[in-house]
Structure 1
Amino acid sequence: MKKLLVVGLMMSNFVFAQNTKSDSTKYDRSVEEDLAYAKSEQQKTKAEKKEKPLPLSKKGQVFVFYGWNRAAYSNSDIHFTGNGYDFQLNNVTAQDRPTKFGIVYFDPSWFTVTQYNFRIGYFIKDNLALVLGIDHMKYVMDQNQTVNFKGHISDPEYAAMVQNGQVNLADEKFLTFEHTDGLNYENLGLEKYQNLIHKKNIDLVWSYGAGIGFMFPKSNVKLFGNERSDRFHVAGMGTDIRSSINLVFWKNWMLRVEGKAGYINMWDIKTTLNNKPDKARQDFVFGQVLAGIGYTFNTKKYK
């Protein structure tokens, strides 16, 4: 009986010891797996933190841009009012006036001479930027044209220039009319961005959007032989739609080509040095193509 009891105790100890060892081994293996998993997740998180986001894509990113433009304008009816006259010239044609290419395009002291564009954008959400812009265009009425006339002029000298409901503007005595210092469109827009190509050092990004703003021209106008009016002032409003292709290289530098179309309405164009009542108003559609260079960067730090 004693022998049987001793054998039973030895077997139970053996089984208990085996179970304890098995449970301990299982427990130890689980802890090791948990530690390995935690370590891999930590390494993954560090890798994600080290990787900078794509350019022109993440909330908090900023870009600045400077470039040059060419513009085209629809025909426009220009209405003039003042002391002794109230008339409209119909279907007036106009062109832009690009500066001849040279050092003036790169000399900061002369940058306002060219037809230039400036942008600063901030990404308020992923892929959505709020963009503040200045479009310095130039608008020059074609001098060699005959236009339809409607209205009246009390001065007999200038009234005599109207023949059969038309007036010839070629000799510049009746009118010269320009927004050359310039046709300044100060605008605020929203632009949506989408990455098309992502390589090691090159990204191709497409954007589209719309803007609205005010017109702040310096209009060079000489009407009826009066002294030329050329004062900066708020003359009206503008709005536009736009789309661009952006080539981002070396992570930060950017080449942009943009096209835009818009509508301008100016109801307070200064035509003489008299503040009142001499003024003109006009509205027209414009198209613009621009290109230039920019820089994009993150406002958030990535370790």
Structure 2
Amino acid sequence: MNISSIRLLFLCLSLTFFTNSSAQNTGNYNKGDIYSYWGWNWSWYSKSDINFKGDNYDFTIHNVSAQDRQTAFTLDKYLNPSSMTIPQYNFRVGYFIKKNIDISFGIDHMKYVMQQDQLSRISGFIENSGTVYDGVYDNTLLPISDGFLQFEHSDGLNYINFEIRKHNMFLEQNNIKFSSITGMGLGFMLPKTNAKLLTNDRNDNFYLSGYGVHALTGLNVSLFKNFFIQTEFKGGFTSLPSIRTTTNKSDTASQNFFYIQYNLVFGYLWNF
């Protein structure tokens, strides 16, 4: 998916929140109600330029492709409390400030993995690395091999965020209710970046690296008033100006990208 498509989806989701302000039917939501959910996500990322800077190098890799990393499904990995944070997951808890509007706190645990061995253009310089990559680059084509760079936010691309959401029930059938959801949010990025650059030691630590903004739309299916299943589409922008790439604090990276996220979650609503 190209960057123009992701930008367009992000814009459409943002506009949906504002244009859906005429919701009339609030269903079984009341001011003071609380909900929480847990589920999983699939993510797609736009290409991005990644700049790497250190004492002996300053270069940018252009139009880098990346993908998410799904964990193979087993009941133990996805439902066992000791391992359920390994897959790409979503957690959220929310509070209704009005009958149809809630504010919430959530964690979106995505995984961002740079595609290895892709042919990319590089600009900048590398010196005194003791490798064949020392030199000056001027938009030079270079394969991103293991010996040059391994780069992923795979433990993961953690988006700690706050949202406001609007709900509108549009169909009720026996004990099943269907509601549309629109919303937007912002937060900070706390990735655990797994990076191996040239001959430097591998880095794999949590680090506050930037911020994100997003918009969303979704469908909520409420079962017997309190249980619910929900699907969501999110479109967002992530800015990471301060990524730790090695154990040396002077070694950093930076990148910006758009993303699309599809979520499937299961939750419970407490009525008060």
Give the TM-score of the pair, scaled to structure 2: 0.87
Q: Does 1:105 align with 2:105?
A: no
Aligned to 2:16: none
Q: Is the 8 A contact 2:123 2:137 kept in 1?
A: no
Contact 1:75 1:284 in 2 (8 A): yes
Bigger strand fraction: 2
Match of 1:128 among 64, 77, 101: 101
Q: What is the CA–CA distance in structure 2 between the aligned matches of 1:164 and 1:88, rounded to whole Å? A: 9
Q: Which residue of 2 aligns with 1:203?
A: 177
Question: Is the partner of 1:295 in helix, strand or coil?
Answer: strand
Give the one of 230, 238, 249 matched to 2:204.
Answer: 230
In 1, Cα distance between the equivalents of 2:209 and 2:180? Answer: 33
2 CA distance for matches of 1:254 and 1:192? 16
After TM superposition, give the deviation of residue 111 of structure 1 in Å: 1.1
Task: Return the alpha-carbon distance in structure 2 between the equivalents of residues 192 and 292 of structure 1.
Answer: 17
Counterpart CA distance in 1 for 2:136 and 2:38 is 45
- Matched residues in 2 for 1:161 and 1:110: separation? 45
2:150 is paired with a residue whose SS is strand
The aligned residue for residue 213 of structure 2 is 239
Partner AA of 1:192 in structure 2: K
Q: What whole-Å deviation, never above 9, does each CA across 1:30-56 have from its counterpart, x for those lacking one? A: xxxxxxxxxxxxxxxxxxxxxxx833x
Gaps of 5+ in 2: 1-25
> Structure 1 residues 113 and 70 mapped into 2: Cα distance closer, same or farther (>3 Å)?
same
Aligned counterparts of 2:82 and 2:199: Cα–Cα separation in 1 = 33
Match of 1:267 in 2: 241
Tell me the amino acid that sits aligned with residue 155 of structure 2. Answer: D
Which residue of structure 1 aligns with residue 39 of structure 2? 67
- Please give the alpha-carbon distance, in whole angstroms, between the structure 1 residues aligned to 2:104 and 2:37: 11
1:168 aligns with 2:143: yes
Q: What corresponds to 1:159 in structure 2?
A: 134
Provide the TM-score with structure 1 as the length reference. 0.78
Structure 1 position 253 matched with structure 2 position 218: no
Q: Which runs of 5+ in 1 are unaligned?
A: 1-52
Moved >3 Å (runs of 4+): 160-164
Per-residue displacement from partner, 1:206-239 (whole Å, max 9, x unpaired)?
1101000000000000001211111111100000
- The number of residues matched between the two structures is 244
Q: Which has the higher helix share?
A: 1
Q: Secondary structure at the match of 1:273?
A: coil
Secondary structure of 1:117's counterpart equals: strand
Q: Which residue of 1 aligns with 2:118?
A: 145
Change in 2 beyond 3 A, CA 1:174/1:196? same
Pick one of 140, 145, 153 that aligns with 1:179.
153
Identity %: 41
Q: How does 1:270-289 map to 2 (within 5 A)?
A: 270-275=244-249, 277-289=250-262
2:49–2:62 CA contact under 8 A, matched in 1: yes
SS at match of 2:83: helix
User: Per-residue deviation at 1:297?
Assistant: 1.5
3-state DSSP of counterpart to 1:125: coil
Q: What letter matches 1:95 in structure 2?
A: Q
Which residue type is aligned with residue 167 of structure 1?
L
Please state how far the C-alpha of 1:144 moved relative to its aligned partner: 2.0
- Give the alignment partner of residue 82 of structure 1, picking from 54, 68, 73: 54
* 1:64-107 CA distance string (max 9 Å, x none): 11000000000010001101101100000000000001121111
SS at match of 1:105: helix
Local SS of the residue matching 1:188: strand
Shift of the 163–264 alpha-carbon distance from structure 1 to 2, 3 Å rule, reads closer
Q: Distance in 2 between matches of 1:153 and 1:54?
A: 61
Determine helix, strand or coil for the equivalent of 1:113. Answer: coil
| CA RMSD, Structure 1 to Structure 2 (Å) | 1.6
Larger Rg: 1
Q: Partner of 1:290 in structure 2?
A: 263
Q: What are the superposed Cα offsets for residues 176-234 of structure 1, whole Å, 9 maximum, x if unpaired?
A: 00000000000001000001112331110111010000000000000012111111111
Distance 1:150 1:293 in 2: 46
For the Cα contact (< 8 Å) 1:266–1:281, is it kept in 2?
yes
Contact 1:161 1:167 in 2 (8 A): no
